[in-house]
Structures are given as structure tokens and as C-alpha cells.
Amino acid sequence: MNPTKPLLLALHFLSEEHRAQMGELLQVIYAPSPAERAAAVAEHGAQVQVVLTVGAVGLTAAEMDRMPQLQLICALGAGYEMVDVAHARQRGVVVANGAGTNDDCVADHALGLLLAAVRGIPRLDALTRQGVWREAIPLPPNVSGRRLGLLGLGTIGRKIARRAEGFDIEVGYHNRSPREGVGYRYFDQLQALAEWADFLVVATPGGAATRHLVNAPVLEALGPRGVLVNIARGSVVDTAALALALREGRLGAAGLDVYESEPQPPADLIGLPNVVLTPHVAGWSPEAVQRSVNQFLANVKGHYSGQGVVAPV
């Protein structure tokens, strides 16, 4: 160990290159699996000063209390729902995140899932490989000229909305309150938004406050030609209700990047032909991940220089 460098405990997957980049500034303890995490906290907790995690992995109050020298907790992405922020603040520990580093990547992926789900692109690909030609296939519907409802109009939601406008799609949204300076139609009830929309895109934070916001009544309101896209957190959607609606034809299709079961695939959805699945990669691209790592290091430098983190929570 180099006593001149703060000790970092990294709890999420990092490439060797990014670990090396962090190693220029910090001593790195890399513990991405649950077993490695428990062992690292037990062995190095007393010396850890910085923790790097992600929203779905988090950091518990009990773990923090095993780190008496802890000064800084950073989430690599924007989400931090599983970090006990209240306990961190009680301890005087600074919390920062990667807000803004992968917004474009997530918005791009959301539109990709929407296009794939509405047009049935994975199924069309499979049929083409089987030698099935277009006359034997039901016509896939337009994406353009439809209505898109956004559950959440933060930075990512706005970027999704701007991309949707490029397809001549009308945009509405549901938040706890209307956004100032926004021309999109506001709905104060999610179910009303779902009744209005052809497509519903989930772009809200995870955590207890948003768990199963998209439930059976919301899916029923979206209807048999409706399409659900989720690039937020799996916990926001009731998976059992979603699977049943898709199986019974009460919802048209879904495009999902996140799941309640992750990292395990969603067993109830695997066999359904009207679902497009990706493995929580909406925010992952070489450019986005590098920006996230750069912002993490900027947070560390800001904290230790006394200037403050660049993305405080």
C-alpha cells in the first residue's frame, strides 16, 4: 500500500485500463463481486477513504460504519438509490455521482429499444434468416406520428424527448410537478399519461419511492397496441404484471434494458416474442464510461483539493 495515496474501494466492474487510470491517483482495492466486497470491507475497511459504486450496488450504513476513515462515496453513474445517503451525511461523508456523463448514450439506447420493439426488428431479423419474406409477415406499425409519454423529465428524459421530436412524435410527461420552460404536455397522473400515449418510456430514478409505479392498471391504460420502454431501473416496473399483460395481448410490446432480477435475466419475459431485452447497457459506450471515470476522478481531486466535488448529491 502507498500511504501517500487515498485508499479506494471499487465495488463495480471496471476495465483494467480504468483501474490503471484510477491507480495514478488512488490505491485501488477492486471488489466487484459480493464475496470480494465482503472480504475487502473486512480486511481493508479501517483504511478505506473513498468508495466507488453504482446505484444498483450501493453502499450500506453498516459498511460505512466499518470504514472510520471514509470521506467520499461516488456513484459512477447518475443513480445512487442503494447508497444510504442519509447515513453518509450523518457521518459527514461527501456523496457525489456521475450525473451527465452518459445521458446521450442512454437516450440513444432508449430510442433504439423503442424502434426495435415497435417495428419488431429482432423478430424480423430471425424470420429473414429463416427465409420468410415480407408477404408472410404482419405489417409492423409506424413509429413516427405517434404519442410518447415520459415517466420522468430529468436530463435524460429531455434528451429522449428531443430525439422523439425528430421522429415527429408528440411528447407528454409525468413528474411530481410540471417542469418550467417545457412545452411538452404535462400529466399529473401516470395512468392518464398512459391512456394518452402510444409509447411509455420510463426515465425516472429507482428506489422505494418509484417501486412498481408502472403496475397492472398503468399497463392496462397503455393498451394492446401500446409499447413500454424502460432504461431507468427494473424496480419501477412490476415484472409479473408486465409479463401477464404481454402474454395476454393487453400490451403490445416492450423494450427493456433493466430488470428487477438483474443481473439474472427476467425469466417471465424470456420466451415472449414481443419483448426486446438488453443487459443494462444503455449507459455503456466507450465514450460514456470514459466520461464517467473522468468525472469520478474530478470528484476525487475536487474533494482532496478543498474545492469540493464537481457533482455533489
Active-site residues, by number, are: 233, 262, 280
The single residue listed with the C-alpha cell 432508449 is 110
* DSSP state string for 14-33: --HHHHHHHHTTSEEEE--S
CA-to-CA distance for 83 and 277, rounded, in angstroms? 27
Q: How does 263-302 read in b/e, with b if 16+ C-beta sit within 10 Å?
A: eeebebbeeeebbbbbebebbbbeebbebbbebbbebbeb
CA-to-CA distance for 280 and 120, rounded, in angstroms? 20
Q: Which among 256, 261, 255, 253 is positioned nearest to 235, based on CA atoms?
A: 261
